[in-house]
Structure 1
Amino acid sequence: MSVHIKQLNADASFLLSFERTSGPASSGQRPTPFTILTDPWIVGPSKVFHPILAVSSHRQAACISTLRDLPEPDLVIISQHKSDHCNEPTLRQLPRTGTKTLILAVPAAAKLIKSWNHFDEDKIITIPRWEESSRPLGHKEPLVRVAVPSTVPGGDPGEVTVAYIAQKRDVSGLHAAIGITYMPPPAQGTGPHFLVTPPATPNHDSSSTVRRLASPIISPTAHALRLALPTPPASPSHSTRSTRSIHSLRSSQSSYSSPQLLRPASRGRDGPALSVIFSPHGISYRSLEPYVTSHLIPSSAFPLTALLHCFDSVTNPWWLGGNISAGAPAGQETAINLGARAWVSAHDGDKDIDGLMTKMLRGRRYAREEVQQGLAPEGKTGSYATETEVLMLGVGEEICVTREGVVCSQ
């Protein structure tokens, strides 16, 4: 299985196409990919509250003129509520009704999109904030699960999970990540049963309840989503590999329920999953660690397939939000600890900016080679880390990544 990552604009708009590398032997056809569109911003400027405060626009046009130039995506993921991520003119290009597309958005963005009264409300799904502390208390699992249609008649579906991880004590409210995992449908018609996951604490006298789905889920609609009990957190040992910051910099430290699919009882026959972390403004690895240990590792979605994370660091005075983009120092720690196969620059493109809130912005640009060199193992200056390939895609460029690494680029 693989994921194709296409850069649609010089910002944070990506088209992710997940697919099994080969379909069932009897089909003779390439399986239809499961597609996810992130933070689409194709038309118009972005403003913060009012153009007099802050307004930005792309210097380079996107590789598409409208979302209608793309195949209908299965999911649209919105990681922030600000208009360079949650762009109303662009999102209104999506069909209002009669579409398979689900919009998955962080709470503030979901509330904003619903206020437009443009889309069917059951097509807008709020991604709950990942709160590890809620799981032992028996709260619902803090992520969204969506079915991937089966590749064979009568077959069981695969699964995509989407989580929202926010950095604590973040003054700007910008430092967060969207975690995505992809498990393709079984290659044959006989797939795993579905069950309600047992409670996180083993002290209670409880047993798993097995439930067979009445019929395969054939499209990721809101009606195909169900509630699930929490997954027991894993407690693997932490990696002892040392982490270095570029130029000795260190990254900063740092109960919500939504519809979800029932979790497959067993995934062993299907092999490991692909995983993507999308963090346009950057996030500390410390904030990601609970999600990694209690979801990515138990889901066989580790090491990380792709990291979409900013290279450049951008700051404002503390009274204007402080750190805006964490940049390479934070991304490097995440890439090393998660063994990311690919790290793609996000949200780093050139923009024309103006407004009172932008006058005191300060930034530090990192070249691709500098970021790659920063991932070199300790004591081996001049050699690159073999685990992670660092890329800065041009608008319209595309790469293909598997669990082994980058296999092609266009």
Structure 2
Amino acid sequence: MALHIKALNNDTSFLLTFIPSICPAEQKFPETFPGAFTILIDPIVPLKIDDVDPKPSSCISSLNDIAEPDAILISQTLPDHCHEESLCQLSPHIQSMIVGEPNAIKKVKRWKHFDLGNMYALRRYKNGRKDTLFRVELPPPSPLAGSVHNAIGITYREPGSVLSRSRAMTGAPPSSRASSAKPMSSISSDMTFATTAASNPEPTLSVLYSPYGVSFDVVQPWILGHLVPESALPLVAMLHSTTVVDAPWYSGGNISTGYPGGFELARRLMPTTWIAANDRHNVLSATAKKVVRKDFDVTDAQMQLWNELAAKNVERKPKILRLNPGETLRVDRLTAEAIVKAMTRNTKEEEKIANPEEHTTTDHEELQ
């Protein structure tokens, strides 16, 4: 099982493709493989916004240059995330689910371009509240297909051998793709995609997308209420800025938490990879002269992260990468599993140190 992360521009437009383990690594178009699930994030193609620095480039000239995604995720109402010119390149009849922050969905609805029945405003996730979770069940790729966990947190579990039956869940919208050959997927209101567990579940891949940064306290309910029960830690990828952007207090104060905010999340969530996002000059011209920026070179940020983790006696080393437009990174399931095993070993060693009397053995036990 693997995740492909493709940067469509050098800002915050990404295409995530979750791929089952049976998909050959040399598959030219993995998004078409049965059981794959694609999410298009904050698409801006081509990237031309009057009040935003025009430096960023795009690897495609139109959203029609890529296959229709399973879901389109809109995280903000700002024009560099919710871009009418780009989204309206798509046909009004697309079957992709359009999901996102409530005000962003309201904005898209005002365009009167897409089917309103295919648009979903995501409520803030509350731990233990099933009414903040709703699911969309799609036909499986085969009679033996299982579940795909697609829980801005995203989780994915490749199809198993038992089809989950969760259609009756409160608040579940009707299926919108009767003819799709995709596996079952679902959306949770903490901006995650998730499904119920199948027997002998495969490890779950998890992604956190936070273009401007967020405090750990905000994502903690999602971690405890969803990632921990689904055994979806550590994250395989975190999409987060490295550049700190501060505006005057009367203009809203901090705009992007950058590396310091990302470090706190990385320290707690230990992502396999940290993809730098939203690091371009994206400050509105009206306030640009009063904004203070602090840029972190990816290589310098990488070393600083590792040094700070080492100072806290953390052995794991997340990688920080910046993808150029058109570049694709494959994050393998095995990479995440290796970290999970390392975490388990470290935990056991810590227990031995903390409670040596509970972990002592006799000579006979050692011989066995």
TM-score, structure 1 length as denominator? 0.70
SS in 1 for 2:109: helix
Q: What's 1:33 paired with? A: 36
Deviation at 1:339, TM superposition (A): 1.6
Q: Which runs of 4+ in 1 moved over 6 A?
A: 195-198, 224-228
Correspondence for 1:191 among 152, 156, 163: 163
Query: CA contact under 8 A between 2:134 and 2:186: conserved in structure 1?
Result: no
Unpaired runs of 5+ residues, structure 1, are: 48-54, 162-177, 199-213, 229-255
Aligned 1:256-271 pairs, distance under 5 A:
264=196, 266-271=197-202
1:401 and 1:149 mapped to 2: Cα distance? 27
Correspondence for 1:71 among 53, 67, 71: 67
2:38 and 2:186 mapped to 1: Cα distance? 21
2:309 and 2:88 mapped to 1: Cα distance? 52
TM-score, structure 2 length as denominator? 0.77
Query: In structure 2, do the counterparts of structure 1 residues 84 and 272 end up closer, same or farther at CA, with 3 Å as the change threshold?
Result: same
Correspondence for 1:366 among 281, 290, 296: 296
1:257 and 1:374 mapped to 2: Cα distance? 31
Deviation at 1:88, TM superposition (A): 0.4
Q: What's 1:52 paired with? A: none
Q: What's 1:397 paired with? A: 327
Q: What's 1:7 paired with? A: 7
Q: What's 1:83 paired with? A: 79
Cα deviation code 1:73-95 (max 9, x no counterpart): 11110000111000000000111
Cα deviation code 1:203-244 (max 9, x no counterpart): xxxxxxxxxxx9x976499xx99999xxxxxxxxxxxxxxxx
Amino acid in the other structure paired with 2:316: T
The reply to whether residue 298 of structure 1 matches residue 272 of structure 2 is no
2:231 and 2:308 mapped to 1: Cα distance? 28
2:272 and 2:261 mapped to 1: Cα distance? 17
The reply to whether residue 179 of structure 1 matches residue 156 of structure 2 is no
SS in 2 for 1:269: coil
Query: In structure 2, do the counterparts of structure 1 residues 196 and 374 end up closer, same or farther at CA, with 3 Å as the change threshold?
Result: farther
Correspondence for 1:341 among 264, 272, 280: 272
Unpaired runs of 5+ residues, structure 2, are: 25-31, 338-368
Q: What's 1:286 paired with? A: 217
Correspondence for 1:274 among 177, 193, 205: 205
Q: What's 1:61 paired with? A: 57
Query: CA contact under 8 A between 2:102 and 2:123: conserved in structure 1?
Result: yes
Identical counterparts, % of pairs:
33
What's the C-alpha RMSD, in Å, of the aligned pairs?
Answer: 3.5
Query: CA contact under 8 A between 2:9 and 2:325: conserved in structure 1?
Result: yes
SS in 1 for 2:207: strand
Query: CA contact under 8 A between 2:138 and 2:185: conserved in structure 1?
Result: no
Query: In structure 2, do the counterparts of structure 1 residues 268 and 287 end up closer, same or farther at CA, with 3 Å as the change threshold?
Result: same
Query: CA contact under 8 A between 2:301 and 2:320: conserved in structure 1?
Result: yes
Q: What's 1:95 paired with? A: 91
1:144 and 1:389 mapped to 2: Cα distance? 33
Larger mean CA deviation between 312-321 and 142-151 belongs to 142-151
Amino acid in the other structure paired with 1:355: S
The reply to whether residue 43 of structure 1 matches residue 46 of structure 2 is yes
Query: In structure 2, do the counterparts of structure 1 residues 399 and 23 end up closer, same or farther at CA, with 3 Å as the change threshold?
Result: closer
Larger mean CA deviation between 12-21 and 398-407 belongs to 398-407
Deviation at 1:33, TM superposition (A): 2.4
**Higher relative helix content:** 2
SS in 1 for 2:90: coil
**Higher relative strand content:** 1
Q: What's 1:174 paired with? A: none
1:225 and 1:272 mapped to 2: Cα distance? 16
